[in-house]
Amino acid sequence: MQRFALIATVLVLLAPAVAADDIVLADGKTVKGVRISGETYEVVEYRKPGVSTPQKVASSEVVSIDYERSSKSYRDAMAARDDGNLKGSIHLLLAAAEDERYGEHQQARALVEAAEAMVNLGLYVDAMQKFDELLELYPKTRHLGRALLGKGKAALRKGEFSKASANFDDLKSQAAAKGLGERWTLEAEFFALLTGEGSGKTAGLAAKYESLKGKAKGKYTGLANKCTLRIGKLRLAENDGSGARRLFGEIIDGRLETDRDVVASAYNGRGRALEMAARGAYGEGDAETANALYREALLDFLRVYVHYGDVRDQQPEAMFFAAQCFKNLGDGEVADAGLNSRRLLHQCKTEFETSAWGQEAAKQLR
């Protein structure tokens, strides 16, 4: 009996592991419990338990893949990123990208996410190098669209508008030629508009964002929300605080389907609209309403400061305006308001000295 029990145990140990990779599709469905056997920008190939022939799904229909087995470096990187430790996350992701035990598709995922984290941290040159490395090592990677978009975003944030425009044109061209899917074509169109906005081409921009939003609505919520964000920012620049506030609220309501950088910017935008309304109320002698609005605005700025530390480019604005809200409320309304205001201004000046808000913070501390 012991011999038979031992044989049974050995057979269990030798049996193939139950597949448990999950493929999340654009239509909201998930293909569960499979084993990924290959990925390109054309197709994702997988095997189902009990089915001998490989199955395929077009990569343009795939939103994401949750792998059963990921390296410890990758898991630790995600935890570090969630804690706002982008530098630590990048280091771990680069280690995961070197780990050959988990296959090229997981190495490629780690590398593209490391490059994207570099963009968020402001390491634009390093990010572009890593995107190029990804495309050289894995020319048919499923993450081709992400890499091409990432290169353009790095150039845009660096202020290299011509280079960014060329990158977004390349993305649009390759999306059409290689069947990457409509999403990448629309992403290229959005960032082409954003590049034009950054270089001062604002004529008719709100209408163009509205048109693009119409194409994305109902299919690509995150992209539609990015258009809403830009329209809200344009409204804010035109001093239409109530209109901007409504638009930012739409994004915040749909934040679970939206990129973190967009949500953080929406919180900052709504905070700015509330702060604008507070100044108006104070100017009309309505201190009670002004204080209530300053409190609401403060909460939005502090949400960015506390919960979106990984979105580095939104931090200086959040710090600076949270400091203004504390200052305007004063110790009579919020305990240690003056102390918190000075602390935030000092941190903004120290960590973001080259940013516009860091320089404004430095002026206020003189």
Nearby residues of 139 by Cβ (< 8 Å), 6 or more positions away: none
Report yes or no: 313 and 122 within 8 Å, Cβ to Cβ.
yes
CA distances to 69, 71, 102, 146 from 20, in Å: 9, 15, 14, 25
Nearby residues of 130 by Cβ (< 8 Å), 6 or more positions away: 111, 114, 115, 118
Report yes or no: 348 and 316 within 8 Å, Cβ to Cβ.
yes
Backbone φ and ψ for 36, nearest 5 degrees, come out as -70, 130
Backbone φ and ψ for 188, nearest 5 degrees, come out as -60, -40
Under DSSP, is residue 239 helix (H, G, I), strand (E, B) or coil? coil
pTM for this structure? Answer: 0.84
Type of residue at 15: A
pLDDT tens, per residue, the chain with 366 residues: 455 454 444 444 444 445 589 999 988 899 999 999 999 999 999 999 888 899 999 999 999 999 988 999 999 999 998 887 889 999 999 999 999 998 899 999 999 999 999 998 889 999 999 999 999 999 999 999 999 999 999 999 999 999 999 999 999 999 999 999 999 999 999 999 999 998 888 789 999 999 999 999 988 988 999 999 999 999 999 999 999 999 999 999 988 888 899 999 999 999 999 999 999 999 999 999 999 999 999 999 999 999 998 888 999 999 999 999 999 999 989 999 999 999 999 999 999 999 999 999 999 998
Type of residue at 34: V
Report yes or no: 356 and 331 within 8 Å, Cβ to Cβ.
no
User: What confidence score (pLDDT) does residue 19 get?
Assistant: 53
DSSP 313: G
CA distances to 159, 183, 200 from 163, in Å: 9, 22, 16
**Rounded-to-integer distance, Cα 92 and Cα 73, Å:** 5
CA distances to 151, 188, 250 from 160, in Å: 11, 16, 31
